[in-house]
Each structure stands twice: as structure tokens, then as C-alpha cells.
Amino acid sequence: MGRYAIRRLLQLVPVVLGTTFIINYMVWQLPGDPFAGRCGQRPCPDSYVTAMREQFGLDQPILVQYWNFLKNLFTGNLGTDFNGVSVATQLGDAWPITIRLALMAVLFEAIIGIGAGVLSGLKRGGFVDNVVTVATLILLSLPIFVTGYLLQWILGVQFGVIEPTVSDAAAVPELIVPALVLASLNMAFTARLTRTSIVENLRADYVRTAVAKGLSNRRVVGIHLLRNSLIPVLTFLGTEIGSLMSGAIITEGIFNIHGIGGLLWRAINGQDYTIVVPVATLLVLVYLLSNLLVDLLYGVLDPRIRYE
Amino acid sequence: MSDPTATQDLIKGADDPAASPVAVRGDRRSLWRDTWDILKRRKIFWISLVMLILFLLMAAFPTLFTHKDPEYATLAKSMEGPSADAWFGYDLQGRDVWARTIYGARTSIIVGVLATLATILLGGLTGVLAAYFGRWIDAVVSRVGEMFLGLPYVLGAIIILGTVAPAQSNPGKAMIMAVVIVVLALLGWPILMRIARSAVIQAKHQDYVQAARALGAGPLRIIFRHLLPNSLAPILVYATITIGSYIGAEATLSLLGIGLRPPVISWGIAIADHASYMRTGAHALLFPAAFLSLCVLTFVMLGEAVRDALDPKLR
């Protein structure tokens, strides 16, 4: 187990390097001058461009730039953006809001998704099963922003149940609807995964044994069936935390939440790549690490899986 | 207790593996035949097929559905609600929303289908190669795939599109669509690579492949005649669902302002243009959104119906 963890961690290193290199390369090296639009209607004077290029190290070869980026990343120095505001401060302001939003979304996914999946899996072909199948199909085909605008329009504009946009504080009650929107797609996946898993395990020998022993239905389902069926679901939820964070870009845009997604979004539109690169790197790291954690957790949850 | 004729069949089959696809046409039932038999009894398949045909007609012959010009704008009618004259009302520029929605189908379907084809080519090819040759090719392809998977979808698209075609630039119609297609394929190929790879790895050790190799078939023949046809089912299912999700992804990117943009007519652009006019004219936002969702639903439904029919144990 320990050796496996170390090996996985080592395997992660080239992937992290590769991904961050791709980000760096695409952001800084692809055609298009990052300083083109920074002087209003007229083109920037050469002196300004040269000074900025020097300040942000753009006059150096890409590999040197990348090396400096890595060095800064590991020393925790994220630098400043083009306007001279510390990137770390901006990240610090935005990060907690996105974490809150993502955690709430995962919670909704787990409660609603697993609940619906268990109910439909236990009574296959029944009324609940059909309702859940149709509902998940619809959720799967609604892009997140459609769900977002629809809820915003119905609940916010038509009925006035919620404020259409979230305030700066982004308190928990305000985030309920955005979190539901963010969770909607994965909720459907979770429900389906749970259902498949339950249906499969219902036929398993250990369930038959448990029933034959005369255990109550509650115990068979709650202890024997659920625990085993939820393993793939938990891993799914874990791996999806990373993509939830980037999915938050759209949700945060719709509901005007000032989180990581909003920060990234404004930076892209303002072509301020000094923010784009660290934020993107952070999101990628979260994504990869959550995947790794889930893989390791898998072995703990399911002892049948052996790591060589 | 073995059946003598069955054994004979087995021997015959082992004799000449290349002839097996022909033999299947006869009495024995092929996978596709079984699939069709299951499919044609399912309501959901027929519903999605009818919807698919409708959307394809819309994309190919928009004039069947509307005689109005989607570009013709009457500013006086800006944001007018639905009426008998204009079923879906008018948009911000006073253009007919129904006409624009109909014409939007073509863009979405072209982008979805072409991006999926590109994904299959890129992902399928790398997956098959990685699985067939194994060793360092497999390692390299898998790692590179992980790097691209490590870039979350929206994030990757924002970074690539934000730099290649920033919102301020103004490339031509075909160019905009091509860039979006390439980006979708570039970010989507690792998933297909994994599917193709695992399908081929499973098929690689089957007897018929060993037999073909023993008969002296080269790698190309083995891949194209034996491995690919037998790995097609999972790729096909994934591709159908992917068309749907790419159509949704295209709209998402257009919404963010980095995907398609005018003069292209698309549902995503229509939604993006009217997102901030929700209070005064939700119709210009909700109708394209409804068509978009229905179109995605069509492909997802079709893919799921085919998957269930191909692999009944999943149900």
C-alpha cells in the first residue's frame, strides 16, 4: 500500500509537469500579444511592451520561463498580475467561496443522487425507477448553463423566491440554488451509477446469504448491500471534485459569484495571463490529487483490490 | 456430453478465421442482428430516431421549416414576444427567433458530428496503436492522455480558445467552426483512446487474433480486419453520446464568448446574446435553449438505446 502510494505519487510528477507545461506554453507562446489591448484605443508604445516583457520574463526562452514558473510555484511566490495586485491575495479571497460551492454541490450529489439511485435500483422496473431514469436522462441532456438560466428565470425572476444573483458574501443559503445547478449533471451520473451498482450486487452471493440467514430487509440493504454498492459511487464523487471546480466557472458566471471561476473568467477576458496560469495550475493540481486520493481510498474501502 | 456438429463447427471456424464474417450472415446471428432485434422493440429508440431525423432535416433543409431570412432584422420589433406572425417572437436585433433557431441546428450538428469524427480518428487511432504495440508506445500515449485529461474540460477550452481565437479577433465563419471543432477533439480524445485501448486489449488475446497472426497476417490486417470490427461497439456507443455532449459543449463555449460567434448562427450564441435580457425577453433565451437541450437529448437517448441493446446485462 505504502509503496503503491509512492509509485502513484511519482507517476503524478510527469503528468503535473506536462500539464503545467501545456498551460504555460499555450498561454504565453501561442500567437497573440498579451500586451496588445492594454493601452486603450491606440497601440502600446514599444518602451512599455519591452518593459512589461522584461518584467514578466517573456523575453527569455520558453524553457527558462517554465523553469522560473516552477521555481516560483514551489517557493509559493505567485507574483502579481499586470496591474500589480498580488495574485495570492486574489486567490485567497476567491478560493473559500468556490470550495464552499463545490462542497455543497458534492453534498447534493451524494444525498439526492445516491438516494434516487438506491430507490430505483431496489425496485427495478417500478414506478420510481422509471421516474428516475427519465429524470436523469433529462438532466444529462440539459447543459449546466441551461439549468442555471432556467432556475434563475423561474425562481429568481418569475417567482422571486431567490435573488437572481449572489451577493459578495456568498453565504450558504444563497449558494443552495447555484450548488444544485452545479451538481445537476453529476447528480444524474451518481443516481445511475448507484442504480447499476445496486442492481448488480442484488444478485451477489453475499446478499443471498444474508437473506438466507434471516436478516431483516433493513439490515441486508443498509449494511450488506449499500456498503458494497457505494464503493464505485464514492470514487466517482471523489474524482469529480476536480472537474466540479472548473465547472464552477459557468455556474459562477451565471449567478455572479466571486469565486475561482469568476476570477479566471475575468482574467481570460482581460487577457491577464499572470492570473490564468496559477489558477489553472491550482485547479489541475486539485483535480490530479483528488484522483490519486480516490485511487488510494479504493483499496481501503475494498480489500479485494490488491496493489502490487 | 459434447455435440458432434458443434465440435465440427468449431474446427471449421478455427480453420479459416477470415471466413467467419461471411459465415455469420447465414443462420447464425450476429451481434448487430441481435442488437437490431432488441432495438426495434424499444419505444425510446423510435422516439429518438424520429427526433434525429427531424433535426437532420432542419440542418439540411432549413427552408422546409421556415421561409424567413434569419439575418433580416427589424429593430422596431426588438424583443417582441411570440405571436402568430413570429412563433418564437423577435430577438434583440428584431430578427425572427424561430428562423434563427431552425438555422442554428445546422451549425450545432456540423460541429457535433465533425468534432466527434475527429475525436474518433485521434482517440481511436492512438488507442488502437497503444494497445496493439504496447510497451513504450502504450506508456507514452497513456501519459500524454492523462496530461490532457488533467486539464478540466472548460478550463482547457478557455485556455486554448482564449489564446488562439480571443474574443476581440474576427476570423471567418469556417475558421471559427474549425477552431472549435479542433479544440473539442483535442480535449476529448483521451477518453476515446481509453475506450479503444481497453477494447483492443481485450480482443488482442482472443483466439481469432492469435490464429490470424499464426497465419501470417501483418499488423495492419490484424488491426483493420480483426481488432477494429470487434472493438467497434463501445466506440460507436460512446460516439453517439459524444455528439450530444459536444453540441452542449459548443453552446457552453459560445456562451462564454470564446466558442462560435456571429456571423455564425448557433443556439449557443443566441443564448449568450440574450442571457442579460432575461427579465424583458426570456423567449429569445428559452426557445434556443429548449432546442439545444432537445437535440442533446436526442443523441444521448439514441446512444443509450443502442448501448442497452448491445449490452443487455447493463440494464
Please give, rounded to a whole number of angstroms, the shortest distance from the CA of B29 to a CA of chain A.
27
> Which pLDDT does position B95 carry in this prediction?
81
All three cell numbers of B283, joined, read 423567449
Task: Tell whether the model's pLDDT for residue A278 goes beyond 80.
Answer: yes
8-state DSSP, B94:
S
Contact A230, A263 (CB under 8 A): no
Domain presence at residue A108? yes
Q: Which residues of A touch B163 (CB under 8 A)?
A: 26-27, 30, 32
Higher per-residue pLDDT: A293 or B8:
A293
Q: Give how many domains chain A has, as a whole number.
A: 1
Cross-chain residue pair B154–A284, CB shorter than 8 Å: no
Please give, rounded to a whole number of angstroms, the shortest distance from the CA of B71 to a CA of chain A.
24
What range defines the domain where residue A160 resides? 89-262
State the average pLDDT over residues A91-120: 89
Highest mean pLDDT among B16-25, B110-119, B234-243, B303-312: B110-119
Domain presence at residue A225? yes
pLDDT digits (tens, 9 = 90+) for A202-217: 888 888 999 899 888 8
Candidate from B143, B152, B292 with C-beta closest to A146: B292
Cross-chain residue pair B293–A146, CB shorter than 8 Å: yes
Residue A143's H or E segment, with its range, is none
All three cell numbers of A247, joined, read 465547472
Cross-chain residue pair B252–A144, CB shorter than 8 Å: yes
Amino acid at site B209: V
> Which pLDDT does position B28 carry in this prediction?
63
CATH (domain of A257): 1.10.3720.10
Task: Tell whether the model's pLDDT for residue B15 goes beyond 60.
Answer: no
Domains annotated for chain B, with CATH where assigned, are 44-71+86-314 (1.10.3720.10)
Cross-chain residue pair B293–A142, CB shorter than 8 Å: yes
pLDDT digits (tens, 9 = 90+) for B126-171: 888 888 887 888 888 888 887 787 776 777 787 777 767 666 666 6
A90 HSE (CA, 13 A, CB side): 23
Interface of A with B in 249-308 (CB under 8 A): 249-250, 253-254, 264-265, 268-269, 271, 276, 280, 283-284, 287-288
> Which pLDDT does position B5 carry in this prediction?
42
Residue for cell digits 437572481?
A164
All three cell numbers of B185, joined, read 477533439
All three cell numbers of A16, joined, read 503535473
> Which pLDDT does position B82 carry in this prediction?
76
Q: Which residues of A touch B257 (CB under 8 A)?
A: 269
Amino acid at site A282: L
Domain presence at residue A129? yes
Domain presence at residue A29? no
pLDDT bracket for residue A41 (50, 70, 90): low
SS3 for A138?
helix
Residue B269's H or E segment, with its range, is helix B267-274
